Structure formats: C-alpha cells, structure tokens
C-alpha cells in the first residue's frame, strides 16, 4: 500500500478518535470535582471541535472523505475514562483517576499526529503538515496543562484519610480476572528472558 493510502487510513483513525472525544470530554468535565480540571476539560473540548474541523480541511487537501475507519484504540481509552468516572471516590482522589485517563487520551493523540506528520513530511504535503502541527501543538499544550494541574490534586489526594476495602463490583472482578490471564499469558515469554 503506498504511503499516501496509509496516511489516509491513519488520518481517518484520528478523525474518529477526535469525534469520540467530542462526545467523551463533556462527561469528564461534568464529572471532575475540581474547578480547575473542569475548566481544562471544557476548554479542550472547544479545541477538539476545532481539531475535527482542521482534519476535515486535511481531507479536502487530500481529496478524500474523512470517514471510513473507527478508532478502536480511542474507544478503549474512552472506556477506561468511563471506569474512572464510575469510581466510588471523592474529591481529589476521584479526580486523580480522571487525570490518568485524560493524559492517556492526549498522549495517544500526540502519537497519532507525530506519525501522520512524519508521513506527510515524506510526501512533501506542506498544507497537511501545517494543519496537523496545529492539532499536535494543542494536544501537547493540553497534556502539559493537565500535568501542571495534577500536582496539587495529587498532593490533596495523598492527604486524604485511608478508607477500608470496598466490595468489588462485577466489572472490577472481571477486570481482575483478565489481569491474571494477562500475567499467565506473559509467563512463558518472561521465563525465556530469565533463562537467556
């Protein structure tokens, strides 16, 4: 497959990812307990809408349509965000989970834009590079702002009193079971490493 086709595929993935975030970010903004975090998610939602528009312009330059590929990676990350929103925690400790989920989305997007910008550079598509770089810069700034806001929230959470163990939900039990399977599947590979 020629590089241009790979680029179009990757960009369709990004377009799907950004659209999924337009739907998910309001939930994070609504769920966040802290005002600063709420404000960051709301501001990034507006940026994300602009990113969708920029991607549409990219597809116009490429003479292709933006739909055609669903981003499974972002679906999974959004699902993890939902888990964080369902956590039975209060205040800063609750927000810590949202920060982890939000940073994952930003870094996933950063990787996507870095890869597509490199491809567009190889193909010498300056207009595409410029538009994607604007999106990349917004994602990097968003990640930096979330990281900066996280500091005081983590400190506050570390000072909260410890709570007793709560019973696990069905979803949490399933997740714990799957994590043991992950460990089991990795065991032969890890054993090889130890003996080599």
| Among the residue ranges 24-32, 107-115, 119-127, 184-192, the one whose residues contact Fe ion (CB under 5 A) | 107-115
| Among the residue ranges 61-69, 118-126, 133-141, 159-167, the one whose residues contact Fe ion (CB under 5 A) | 133-141
Q: Cβ closer to Fe ion: 17 or 157?
A: 17
User: Is residue 13 a contact point for Fe ion (CB under 5 A)?
Assistant: no
Residue 178 CB, nearest approach to Fe ion (Å):
27
| Among the residue ranges 44-52, 57-65, 74-82, 121-129, the one whose residues contact Fe ion (CB under 5 A) | 44-52
Three-state secondary structure readout of the chain = CCHHHHHHHHHHHHHHHHHHHHHHHHHHHHHCCCHHHHHHHHHHHHHHHHHHHHHHHHHHHHCCCCCCCCCHHHHHHHHHHHHHHHCCCCHHHHHHHHHHHHHHHHHHHHHHHHHHHHHHHHCCCHHHHHHHHHHHHHHHHHHHHHHHHHHHHHHHHHCCCCCCCCCCCHHHHHHHHHHHHHHHHHHHHHHHHHHC
∠ CA 113-23-169, nearest 5°, is: 105
Q: Which of 20, 51, 116, 157 binds Fe ion (CB under 5 A)?
A: 51
Residue 135 CB, nearest approach to Fe ion (Å):
6
Pick out residues in 78-97 that bind Fe ion (CB under 5 A). none
User: Is residue 139 a contact point for Fe ion (CB under 5 A)?
Assistant: yes
User: Is residue 116 a contact point for Fe ion (CB under 5 A)?
Assistant: no
Q: Which of 32, 84, 99, 109 binds Fe ion (CB under 5 A)?
A: 109
Residue 156 CB, nearest approach to Fe ion (Å):
25
Residue 11 CB, nearest approach to Fe ion (Å):
13
């Amino acid at each position: 497959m020629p590089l241009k086709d790979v680029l179009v595929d990757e960009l369709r993935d990004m377009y799907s990812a950004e659209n999924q975030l337009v739907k998910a970010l309001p939930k994070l903004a609504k769920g966040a307990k802290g005002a600063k975090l709420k404000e960051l998610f709301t501001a990034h939602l507006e940026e994300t809408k602009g990113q969708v528009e920029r991607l549409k312009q990219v597809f116009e330059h490429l003479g292709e349509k933006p739909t055609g590929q669903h981003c499974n990676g972002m679906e999974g990350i959004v699902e993890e965000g939902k888990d964080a929103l369902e956590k039975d925690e209060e205040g800063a400790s609750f927000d810590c989970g949202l920060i982890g989920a939000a940073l994952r989305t930003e870094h996933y997007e950063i990787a996507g834009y870095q890869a597509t910008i490199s491809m567009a550079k190889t193909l010498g598509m300056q207009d595409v590079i410029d538009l994607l770089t604007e999106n990349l810069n917004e994602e990097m700034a968003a990640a930096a702002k979330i990281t900066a806001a996280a500091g005081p929230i983590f400190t506050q959470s570390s000072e909260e009193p410890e709570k007793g163990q709560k019973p696990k939900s069905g979803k949490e039990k399933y997740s714990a079971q799957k994590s043991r399977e992950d460990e089991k599947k990795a065991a032969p590979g890890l054993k090889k490493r130890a003996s080599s």
